A and B are shown apart, each in its own frame.
Chain A
Amino acid sequence: MASEEIRIDHSIIYSIVEPGSRVLDLGCGEGDLLYPLVRDKQVRAQGIELDDKAIQECVKKGLSVFHDDIENSLREYPDHSFDYVILNQSMQEVKKVDYVIREALRIGGKVIVGFPNFAYIKSRLMLFFHGKAPITKSLPYLWFDTPNVRFLSITDFRDFCAEKKIRIMEAHYLGEGEMVSFWPNLLALNAIFVLVK
């Protein structure tokens, strides 16, 4: 994914998170999302990350991180351990999505989910006209070399939340450099949802 989109989704999440809150970032990478939250908003942050090099980068930034995969990392936390649990660009890499979302809602007040939209217009065109697995700015990987194991559209995720009785408090849709307000399932590269039980 291009860095431009990363900055937009980070800035959206940054604006959502209240100062001084407790935040768990699942798949925190090198801590680029958590770092400004800790620096400017004095959040109490904990990251979960699988890559040990990325963990070293987090520790350099003064962040606390656990080396673990997302699915194994949630069980031990007591209910309501965090104000926010963030799953930004990591949900699509998780196999047991249902379990992870449920656990995230158990241990966090709000769950912020950011994911690439598989039904983005350029994906549809690529599949329809070229008959090839889509490659877009938010889904930049070749089919044999992608960390993603779940491919979903914005509509898919809304249906999922409706079926699981998960309330969507906020929805943000990101296009190529600007926010999208019409036909997000067609025009958005990425979506960010704020979920509550």
Chain B
Amino acid sequence: MTTTNYTATNSSVGIVETQYYTYAERGKEHKLESGDTLGPITLAYETYGELNANKSNAILALHALSGDAHAAGVHKGQDNAGWWDDMIGPGKAFDTNRYFVICSNIIGGCKGSTGPSSINPATGKPYALDFPFITVADMVHAQRHLIDHLGIERLLCVSGGSMGGMQALQWVASYPERVRSAIPIATALKHSPQQIAFNEVVRQSIMADPAWREGNYYEYGQPEKGLSVARMIGHITFMSDQSMEEKFSRRLKSGKFSFGFDPDFEVEGYLHYRGANFVKRFDANSYLYITKAFDYFDLSGKKLIPHGKIIDTRFLVISFKSDWLYPSYQSQEIVRLLKRRHVDATYCELNSTYGHDAFLVEVEEQTTLITHFLDKTFNGYLVVDRYGI
């Protein structure tokens, strides 16, 4: 089952391979939150490290909007490391010498899991807009099937940043007894009007491109202009004013003004580059469906922990000072809710200048927090004894 290869480098999980799990076959379709059904469903996933004998060391890493199952290591013959390679590996925050880490691509995605670009068995063509609307709860429901399939009763931890953090919270809401701890990072209990507004502009820019063709573009190619603008908007929100100043300032691409509308400034060039790259790797309809899914996300009030329910899931909540897309006050809302319900939790706002991107790049402090938090969750009070003052 495991694809780990420790020989590659000391701090990398090495060569990994994406695997696939299919369920919800005909007659056993997955009932979605919207009331629609979906099936069969394939989930692309990767695993790193070894599952221990009593299956108590499994961690589910949850990816953000445009992420995929490839969280760590490299694929054979390629050199692009997984999206959380800095955090998952031998001796890293999610230490694959000790833990068994799973990452699955969400449903609705386009990286091997069933989504709008998958073939609809009813028509033999891509679903396009016939794909049903999905929610974060549906994504987590699908992941639960994968975890069942892997024979894991209780996860040591669920963790992710941004929309990955929402999935972590949703895991607690949907299956609290199956989660020993949760690490939601740079995320929110519910999408704010500002976040919904950005997503709506993103969707409109895709749908305004004539090449989108009401979603039926698969024979013709992606709505490149619309999708690329959508991603450019995204990248603005992922950075901070300060990180953009540090990265680009007002530097010009060619040293002088062109007095034309081609990109003059480096920041423009960067956004164009990011947009153009994204078109090659991400399906426009997936972007529409997934952004809608996290706009619908709302675990405020009694939805995270139902009234009267006592949960023993431990929490580590992390936010970043310069993140204005998922500002710290949203993480504090999670913390306030946990306080009201006497849930064992730690919260830390890290002092990063990287904006929302920080959850991917601020490795050192996150590693300290996560390493020790997991150690305590896994080993309980043994850790306390071990510290020894």
Contact A64 B345 (CB under 8 A): yes
* Minimal Cβ-Cβ distance residue in B for A61: B387
| Shortest Cβ distance from B332 into A: residue | A68
With A and B bound together, what is the CA distance between A56 and B368 in angstroms? Answer: 7
Q: Which of A38, A59, A68, A81 has the most CB of B within 10 A?
A: A59
Tell me if A's interface is mostly helix, strand, loop or mixed.
mixed
**CB of B369 within 8 Å of the partner chain:** yes
| A141 at the binding interface (Cβ < 8 Å) | no
Q: Does B246 contact A (CB under 8 A)?
A: no
Q: Does B300 contact A (CB under 8 A)?
A: no
Q: Contact check: which of A42, A59, A67 meets B349 at CB < 8 Å?
A: A67
Q: Does B346 belong to the interface (CB within 8 Å)?
A: yes
Q: Is A14 an interface residue (CB 8 A)?
A: no
> Judging by beta carbons under 8 Å apart, are A59 and B389 in contact?
no
- Tell me the complex Cα distance, A30–B314, Å: 20
Indicate if the CB atoms of B387 and A59 lie closer than 8 Å. Answer: no
> Beta-carbon contacts of A31-58 to B below 8 Å, as 1s and 0s?
0100110110010101000001001101
Residues of chain A having any CB pair with chain B under 8 Å: 32, 35-36, 38-39, 42, 44, 46, 52, 55-56, 58-68, 76-78, 81
Q: For B28, list chain A residues within 8 Å (CB).
A: none
Q: Are A59 and B373 in contact, with the CB atoms below 8 A?
A: yes
Stretch touching chain A among B31-39, B122-130, B335-343: B335-343
* Chain B 364-389 interface 0/1 with A at a Cβ cutoff of 8 Å (1 = within): 01001100110110000101110101
A78 and B340 contact, CB distance less than 8 A: yes
Bitwise, B165-179 to A at CB < 8 A (1) or not (0) is 000000000000000
Task: Name B389's closest neighbour in chain A (CB-CB).
Answer: A35
Report whether B351 and A52 are in contact in the complex, using a CB–CB cutoff of 8 Å: yes
Which residues from chain B contact A38 at a C-beta distance below 8 Å? Answer: 381, 384
Which residues of chain B are near A52, meaning CB under 8 Å? 348-351, 365
Whether the Cβ atoms of B351 and A35 lie closer than 8 Å is no
Which chain A residue lies CB-closest to B316?
A: A59
> Could you tell me if A62 and B387 are in contact, using CB atoms closer than 8 angstroms?
yes
State the 7 A-B residue pairs at the shortest beta-carbon distance, nearest first. A62-B376, A76-B339, A62-B383, A76-B336, A62-B384, A59-B372, A66-B347
Write the nearest CB–CB distance from B273 to chain A, whole angstroms.
34
Tell me whether A59 and B384 are in contact in the complex, defined as CB-CB below 8 angstroms, given that A52-B348, A78-B340 are known contacts: no
CB distance from A46 to the nearest CB of B (A): 8
Given contacts A52-B350, A59-B373, contact A66 B384 (CB under 8 A): no
Chain B nearest CB: distance from A70 CB in Å? 14
B346 and A64 within 8 A (CB)? yes
**What are 19 A-B residue pairs whose CB atoms fall within 8 Å in the complex?**
A32-B389, A35-B384, A35-B389, A38-B381, A38-B384, A44-B344, A52-B349, A55-B346, A56-B369, A58-B346, A59-B316, A59-B369, A59-B372, A61-B387, A66-B346, A68-B332, A76-B339, A77-B339, A78-B340
A65 contacts across to B, CB distance below 8 A: 346-348
- In the bound assembly, the distance between CA atoms of A62 and B332 in angstroms comes to 21
Least CB separation from A77: chain B residue: B339
